[in-house]
Amino acid sequence: MLRRRFRAVASAASTAGLCFAVGLLVFGVDAHRSWLRALGSSDWAWAAMNGSILGLLTRTLSESPYYSPLLSTPSLITPIWLAAAGLVGLLTLLAAASRPADSNVDRDFALLLLVSQLISPLGWVYYLWLPVGPLAALIATWRRERESEGIRSMPFLARWRDGFLLLATPGLVWPLFGTTLFSSRIDGPRSS
């Protein structure tokens, strides 16, 4: 919308609306209402497979069956999450909108998909396959740029970007390792 690509916006909105309508037709209104109630009553944001900002804050600032909080202040979770998610969302929107209209669509799409998982309340890591296509295209573009320019002429930040991407890859494949690395409660849920 910010780039005034209204046909693309209309196409995306109509596709989302069509998918929603098909879901309602296939599963029915009652199943949809039940799904909305289940989403509203979720209390498992602390789970290790939740890679969102809310998941990190919940594991860090409140008790859970598997993790000891760094600081037990559950009343701070929602305000900090809303502020952080708003800031991350705004910065992402500004970054995507500030690029020229002919900029790398794969980069912008991958960025938006990854950030949507960060700001979502339940950003389950098994949804990380969604940005794989745009990320693969982006990595291929980076490799072509590297080969054409040579590694020495590659900007300093671009070399760091590639290094951080490689460093983050194990977390995408095996996230439980990172979340339980320093946990003292990895032997199972506590008894009540």
C-alpha distance from residue 59 to each of 50, 56, 106 (Å): 10, 5, 32
Q: Per residue in 155-175, pLDDT tens? A: 666 666 666 666 666 555 555
pLDDT the model gives residue 186? 45
Q: Is the pLDDT of residue 46 over 60?
A: yes
To the nearest 5 percent, what fractions of the chain are helix, strand and coil?
65, 0, 35
Q: Which of 77, 69, 55 is closest to 190 using CA atoms?
A: 69
Work out the pLDDT band at 182, boundaries 50, 70, 90.
Answer: low
Q: What is the mean pLDDT of residues 147-156?
A: 62
pLDDT the model gives residue 141? 79
Work out the pLDDT band at 123, boundaries 50, 70, 90.
Answer: confident
- Domains in the chain: boundaries: 1-41, 44-180
